[in-house]
Amino acid sequence: MIGVETWRIVATCLLTLGGLVLVLVAMAQARDRRGRTRGDVARSALISLGVLAVADALVATVLPSTVAWGIVAAEWILIAVVTLAD
In this prediction, residue 36 carries a pLDDT of 81
| Cβ contacts of 78 within 8 Å, gap of 6 or more | 22
3-state secondary structure of 34: coil
pLDDT in tens, the chain (86 residues): 567 789 999 999 999 999 999 999 999 888 888 778 888 899 999 999 999 999 999 999 999 999 999 999 999 999 999 988 86
For the chain, the C-alpha Rg in angstroms (whole number) is 15
Q: What is residue 43's predicted lDDT score, i.e. its pLDDT?
A: 93
Alpha-carbon dihedral 66, 16, 9, 78, rounded to 10 degrees = 30
Q: Which pLDDT score is estimated for 2?
A: 67
Q: Is the dihedral of CA 8, 53, 27, 29 positive or negative?
A: positive
Q: Are 71 and 15 in contact (CB under 8 A)?
A: yes
The domain segmentation of the chain, as residue ranges, is 6-85
Question: Which tens digit of pLDDT belongs to each residue from 64-80?
Answer: 999 999 999 999 999 99
